[in-house]
């Protein structure tokens, strides 16, 4: 473990919004008197009616979380309207196409016009406050317009990542009973088309079998590729926009009115709809965006995430726009046309703040330094990392090679559930240790808890909980509050349990060690082992499956599947390929199994519980320390599993 310490850079200290003294003072205040702290910081957004109540939250009983509850506002008023006077002609969104010769700049005034028109289209189609609108889009400005248009009229958006399969899309449509979809004919990534409309059509058919009738599909023409058309259901985006009224007043929203649902994987069952609301979410997204990235007026800010993930919600769209920033949206992939793309884009648009995921950093590191050196990168001031633990080697490469020792790195730990960044350095305040997310943001009270639920003090290694609420926290699982209570508040009474393991060192720095539950993190994408297992067993040749993660050089974790076949079925390489295709079809390419091992039997306890600990060890090719196997119903299966392991070193 690296214990190297990098002092705060003089350049980061200069004019910083928060130096170390300020951090410590504000942090104290934020945990000693959250009410007063957030009463003050809630004012960073504009309210149509100011709040008088600030915090009304309880982590016991039925779990109720309310922030600024009697305040009234609208997210798009804060992200657009209030900037018009001063920054109407400032660029709000820089769009960089998949093709390096195509880009576009949208000013705040243009953004206002686009969002108002689209909001009017939604209204005309009968979308009302509280209705769920599904957004299944490539990374084009219309994806942001669609999110904002929903927020403008109080509709709840559910963005589904464009890489998800029709089955996955259908599941999400049905779960929140969404009957309005915004999509595109095709997406374009790395020069390859992605059949979004075709997938949507398939998903609608699947959903119909489950009783959901989708009423309208609004289709952006992105590639002009050939698509099927249902005249009484499908609408061309450009045609509808052309006919729409240009003004749409922002709907008054209570602070606790829902803003969006975003589906995420857990250790059990199907993905759950994480619900975020209006006021607290926006305050938290905007505040973290400003302080974590030390964002200054005029900065060009680029987060490489997809809007299909929470990072895209909070740090491409809502946080930056609430702060009147210029946010860059990238349609493509890091290795197209080649591995130098990110740095070319940095030079092209003079990017100052760059935020990406460790998996991308590792892949680019592997491609060699020439791709980096080809670009000057002189505009860069700050680098960010998110999504999974960053290994010290990748951190050092990011710091020395990409940032040339003059850019601080903010390794930001957070989750879909937390709405915004929770543990992170502040560039002008925090000394950096490669691999550590360092210290909590204002108002965040991390606790390390041992398996018995005892809070551990000082340097320790335990399960990461958060002791009290913060404004960006999810409010419920959409349509299933008991699942919310059960998932996050039942393991350790009175605390929010993150699902992550974590170490705190002698300086009070936090080191996230990864998930302690059955959640995988593959290239920064979150997947439940149960989801992959249920995809596998839905294949007619599979009788049982157990899925575990194993360390993977680029992806962080790879997907290792143990598959028991139906009697009489032979485990061939062709069947392996078929199962891989099957899982991709069921969930999407992000769930592509890396290894499939055919296993006549799985290690189970006498009560029938699969002992994943053993399967993990074998997948890691570390079977010298399998621990106690005497409780297995049939200890003999282990030898066979070891012999046929797929990760032999
Ligand atoms: C899980 C949440 C938050 C946006 C992207 C992922 C892991 C996230 C870090 C980090 C170590 C991290 C955790 C967490 N994670 N950031 N900086 N260091 N681990 O959101 O899909 O909800 O996944 O990602 O395991 O629980 P998500």
Domain-by-domain residue ranges, the chain? 1-29+354-367+376-442, 523-644
Residue partners of 400: CB distance under 8 A and separation at least 6: none
Is position 8 annotated in a ligand binding site? no
What are the residue ranges of helices labelled H in 569-636?
573-586, 612-619
Check pocket membership of 306 for ligand 1, CB cut-off 6 A: no
The model's pLDDT over 394-429, given as tens digits with 9 standing for 90+, comes to 999 999 999 999 999 999 999 999 999 999 999 999
**pLDDT for residue 627:** 80
What confidence tens digit (pLDDT) does each residue in 333-388 have? 999 999 999 999 999 999 999 999 999 999 999 999 999 999 999 999 999 999 99
Ranges of beta strands (E only) in 577-649 are 595-598
pLDDT reading at 295 higher than 80: yes
Confidence label for 625 from pLDDT (cuts 50, 70 and 90): confident
Return the ligand 1 atom nearest residue 416 CA.
22
Local confidence band at 487 (pLDDT 50, 70, 90 cut-offs):
very high
Q: Whose CA is nearest to atom 6 of ligand 1?
A: 387
Copy the structure tokens of residue 180: 């309005």
340 to each of 82, 124, 139, 447, 540, how far by Cα in Å?
37, 45, 20, 41, 44
- Expressed in angstroms and rounded, the spacing between residue 301 Cα and the centre of ligand 1 is 21
pLDDT at residue 648, rounded to an integer: 85
Distance (Å) of CA 627 to CA 338, 533, 601, 615, 622: 46, 25, 19, 12, 11
What is the tens place of the pLDDT at every residue in 211-245?
A: 999 999 999 999 999 999 999 999 999 999 999 99
pLDDT-derived band of residue 85, with 50, 70 and 90 as boundaries?
Answer: very high
Ligand 1 in reach of 521 Cβ (< 6 A): yes
> Taking the model in full, what pTM does it have?
0.96
Give SS3 for 330.
strand
CA of 525 to the centre of ligand 1 (A): 9
> What are the beta bridge partners of residue 449?
455, 463
* Res 1 pLDDT > 60: no
Q: Is 523 annotated as a binding residue?
A: yes
pLDDT number for residue 557: 96
Q: Is the pLDDT of residue 86 over 80?
A: yes
% residues pLDDT > 90 (the chain) = 94
Beta carbon of 416 within 6 Å of any ligand 1 atom:
yes
515 CB near ligand 1 (under 6 Å): yes
Which one of 314, 414, 500 would you pick to mutate in the ligand 1 pocket, going by the greatest count of ligand atoms within 8 A of its CB? 414
- Distance from the alpha carbon of residue 414 to the mean position of ligand 1, in angstroms: 5
pLDDT in tens, 22-44: 999 999 999 999 999 999 999 99
Residue 69, ligand 1, Cβ within 6 A: no
- Cα angle for residues 311, 498, 176 (degrees, 5° grid): 60
Asked whether residue 570 carries a pLDDT value surpassing 60, the answer given is: yes
Give the position, in ligand 1's atom list, of the atom nearest the Cα of 310: 4
Average pLDDT over residues 6-17: 94
Q: Is the pLDDT of residue 560 over 80?
A: yes
User: Which among 429, 463, 428, 426 has a CA at the least distance from the CA of 446?
Assistant: 463
Residue of the nearest CA to atom 19 in ligand 1? 388
- Region 66-91: mean pLDDT is 98
Of the candidates 56, 61, 57, 171, the one whose C-alpha atom is nearest the C-alpha of residue 482 is 61
Give the separation between CA 596 and CA 428, rounded to whole angstroms.
47
What is the number of alpha carbons within 13 Å of residue 529 lying toward its C-beta? 24
If you measure from the C-alpha of residue 98 to the centroid of ligand 1, how many angstroms do you get, rounded to a whole number?
26
> What is the CA(372)–ligand 1 centre distance, in A?
26
Q: How far apart are the C-alpha atoms of 93 and 98, rounded to whole Å? A: 16
Which atom of ligand 1 lies nearest, measured to the CA of 390?
18
Higher pLDDT, 338 or 631: 338
* Pair of tokens at residue 602: 């799985």
**Pair of tokens at residue 248:** 């749409």
Annotated binding-site residue? 643: no
Residue 439, annotated as binding a ligand: no
Q: Which long-range contacts link 53-58 to residues 24+ away (Cβ below 8 Å)?
A: 55/469, 57/468, 57/469
| Closest-CA residue to 424 (of 408, 433, 442, 412) | 412
320, pLDDT greater than 60: yes
CATH topology for 523-644?
GMP Synthetase; Chain A, domain 3 (3.30.300)
- Split at pLDDT 50, 70, 90, the class of 268 is confident
Instruction: Give residue-wise pLDDT tens across range 148-192.
Output: 999 999 999 999 999 999 999 999 999 999 999 999 999 999 999
To the question of whether residue 213 is assigned a binding role by annotation, the answer is no
Ligand 1 within 6 A of CB of 387: yes
Whether residue 413 has its Cβ less than 6 Å from ligand 1: yes
Asked whether the predicted pLDDT for residue 2 surpasses 60, the reply is: no
CA 349–ligand 1 middle distance (angstroms): 28
Question: Over the chain, what is the mean pLDDT?
Answer: 96
pLDDT at 58 over 60: yes
Establish whether 335 is an annotated binding residue. Answer: yes
Asked if 370 contacts 395 with a C-beta cutoff of 8 angstroms, the reply is: no
Using one digit for the tens of pLDDT, what is the confidence trace for 489-546? Answer: 999 999 999 999 999 999 999 999 999 999 999 999 999 999 999 999 999 999 999 9
**Strand 446-449 relative to strand 460-466, pairing:** antiparallel
pLDDT-derived band at 433, boundaries 50, 70, 90: very high
For ligand 1, atom 23, the nearest C-alpha belongs to 415
State if residue 396 touches ligand 1 by the CB under 6 angstroms criterion.
no
Cβ atoms of 306 and 161 within 8 Å: the answer is yes
Query: Does the annotation place 30 within a ligand binding site?
Result: no
């Amino acid at each position: 473990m690296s214990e190297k310490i990098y002092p705060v850079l003089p350049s980061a200290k200069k004019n910083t919004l928060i130096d170390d003294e300020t951090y410590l003072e504000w942090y104290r205040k934020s945990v000693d008197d959250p009410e007063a702290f957030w009463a003050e910081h809630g004012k960073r957004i504009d309210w149509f009616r100011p709040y008088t109540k600030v915090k009304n939250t309880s982590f016991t009983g039925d779990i109720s979380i309310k922030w600024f509850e009697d305040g009234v506002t609208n997210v798009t008023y804060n992200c657009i309207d209030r900037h018009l006077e001063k920054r109407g002609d400032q660029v709000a969104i820089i769009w960089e196409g998949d093709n390096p010769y195509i880009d576009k700049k949208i000013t705040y005034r243009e953004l206002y016009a686009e969002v108002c028109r689209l909001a009017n289209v939604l209204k005309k189609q009968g979308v009302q406050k509280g209705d769920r609108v599904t957004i299944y889009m490539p990374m084009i400005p219309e994806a942001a317009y669609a999110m904002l248009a929903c927020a403008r009229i109080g509709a709840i958006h559910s963005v589904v990542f464009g890489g998800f399969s029709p089955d996955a899309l259908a599941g999400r449509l049905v779960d929140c009973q969404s009957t309005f979809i915004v999509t595109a004919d095709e997406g374009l990534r790395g020069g390859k088309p992605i059949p979004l409309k075709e997938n949507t059509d398939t998903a609608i058919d699947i959903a119909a079998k489950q009783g959901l009738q989708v009423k309208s599909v609004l289709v952006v023409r992105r590639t002009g590729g050939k698509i099927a058309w249902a005249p009484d259901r499908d609408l061309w985006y450009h045609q509808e926009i052309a006919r729409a009224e240009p003004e749409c007043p922002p709907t008054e929203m209570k602070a606790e009115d829902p803003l969006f649902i975003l589906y995420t994987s857990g250790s059990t069952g199907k993905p759950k709809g994480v619900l975020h609301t209006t006021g607290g979410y926006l305050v938290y997204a905007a505040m973290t965006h400003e302080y974590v990235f030390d964002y200054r007026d005029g900065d060009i800010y680029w987060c490489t995430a997809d809007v299909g993930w929470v990072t895209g919600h909070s740090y491409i769209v809502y946080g930056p726009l609430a702060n009147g920033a210029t946010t860059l949206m990238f349609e493509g992939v890091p290795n197209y046309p080649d591995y130098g793309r990110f740095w070319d884009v940095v030079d092209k648009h003079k990017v100052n703040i760059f935020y990406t995921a460790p998996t991308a950093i590792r892949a680019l590191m592997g491609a060699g330094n020439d791709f980096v050196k080809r670009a000057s990168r002189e505009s860069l001031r700050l680098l960010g990392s998110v999504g999974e633990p960053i290994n010290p080697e990748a951190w050092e490469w990011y710091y020395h090679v990409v940032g040339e020792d003059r850019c601080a790195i903010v390794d930001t730990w957070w989750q879909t559930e937390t709405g915004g960044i929770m543990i992170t350095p502040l560039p002008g305040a925090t000394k950096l240790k490669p691999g550590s997310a360092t210290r909590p943001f204002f108002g965040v009270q991390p606790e390390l808890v041992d398996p018995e639920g005892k809070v551990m003090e000082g340097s320790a290694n335990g399960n990461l909980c958060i002791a009290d609420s913060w404004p960006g926290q999810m409010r419920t699982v959409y349509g299933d509050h008991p699942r919310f209570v059960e998932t996050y508040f039942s393991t350790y009474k009175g605390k929010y349990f993150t699902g992550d393991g974590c170490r705190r060192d002698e300086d009070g720095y936090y080191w996230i060690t990864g998930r302690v539950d059955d959640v995988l993190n593959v290239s920064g994408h979150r997947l439940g082992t149960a989801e992959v297992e249920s995809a596998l067993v839905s294949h007619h040749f599979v009788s049982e499956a157990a899925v575990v993660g194993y360390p993977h050089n680029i992806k962080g974790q790879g997907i290792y599947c143990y598959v028991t076949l139906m009697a009489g079925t032979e485990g061939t390489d062709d069947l392996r390929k078929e199962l891989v295709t099957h899982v991709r079809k069921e969930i999407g390419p992000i769930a592509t199994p890396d290894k499939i091992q055919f296993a006549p039997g799985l290690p189970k306890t006498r009560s029938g519980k699969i002992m994943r600990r053993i399967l993990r060890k074998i997948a890691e090719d570390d079977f010298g320390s399998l621990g106690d196997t005497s409780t297995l119903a049939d200890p003999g299966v282990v030898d066979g599993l070891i012999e046929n392991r797929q990760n032999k070193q």
